[in-house]
Amino acid sequence: MSNTAPVSINGWPIYYEKIGSGPNILLMIPGAIGTGSTDYSDQLSGPYAFDHDQFTLIAIELPVNQLFLLYKVLKLIYLFIYYQTLGYEKFQVFGWSEGSRVALVLAADYPDVVTDLVVLALPTYATEVHNKNMLMTKNIDNWDKTMIDRYLTVYKDRAELQNLWRRHIIFVDNFPQLFPKGICYNKYDSIKCRILLLHGDRVRVWDPLVQLEHVEHLQANLPQTKVHR
């Protein structure tokens, strides 16, 4: 069973997709302009999907027009949606790329709510190499065709996709000024949940944008972190 619906919080439409009815509540936060269907299609449905009898999957979308407020406001909105509106007092979180940063902040600010955390492609702080890698993706004409086609299933056309990504690149370019010490500076001690960190540097078919130093940084600051490369 799938349920897709928007929720309006303080005038911001937040869309989410809910699939399954299992006891394990899994909040899935996609990348900056991603959705459940673009970023988590294999996990939501198909032969590799999570067991819908064991999991209730809730895939949300980031409001890309509010990127500069992301870590000050958005985590509170997520908590309201899933803790107050949907009635879940505790849940697990799976975050990818920009969604992994939101997930980490969520776990730090609400340690009694987030029970487990899985993150993939998590840049915890700004580095020259990461920013350079991200800025190289500014023009979607340089993207893999498969990735573009996937996003075009939810966005109107290439122009809309390019405009949305342009907004995110502005955020990336300003990230060092917005968060000069990283997104969880002085908050690591608050994170109590188990953490599984996925990193793709040993997978030949994927050259990750996020460097290994971010993985090592999290391991040093969060000893409960397990890493799969």
Q: Which pTM does this prediction carry?
A: 0.91
CB 38 within 8 A of CB 154: yes
Structural domains of the chain in order of their starting residue, each with its CATH number: 2-126+179-228 (3.40.50.1820)
What pLDDT, on the 0 to 100 scale, is given for residue 84?
Answer: 65
Residue 203 to residues 71, 73, 93, 124, 163: CA-CA distances in angstroms? 30, 35, 24, 21, 31
The closest alpha carbon to 183, from 105, 110, 107, belongs to 105
Nearest residue to 95 (alpha-carbon basis) of 116, 111, 112: 116
Q: Contact 218/197 with Cβ under 8 angstroms?
A: yes
Predicted local confidence at residue 66, as pLDDT: 52
CA dihedral (150, 119, 102, 216) positive or negative: negative
pLDDT in tens, the chain (229 residues): 345 667 776 666 778 889 999 999 999 999 989 999 999 999 999 999 999 999 999 998 876 655 556 555 566 666 666 666 678 889 999 999 989 998 998 899 889 989 999 999 999 999 999 888 899 999 999 999 999 999 999 999 999 999 999 988 988 888 898 888 888 888 999 999 999 999 877 765 455 688 889 999 999 999 999 999 8
At 190 the pLDDT is: 96
47, HSE (Cβ side, Cα atoms, 13 Å) = 0
The whole-number pLDDT of residue 70 equals 58
User: Residue 229 has what pLDDT?
Assistant: 82
- Locate all alpha helices (DSSP H) within 84-193, ordered by sequence: 98-109, 128-135, 145-151, 158-178
Answer left, alpha or beta for residue 11, where phi above 0 means left and psi between -120 and 50 means alpha: left
Which of 118, 123, 96, 124 is CA-nearest to residue 188? Answer: 124
β-bridge partners, 94: 28, 118
C-alpha pair distances (Å), 70 with each of 27, 65, 80: 17, 10, 15
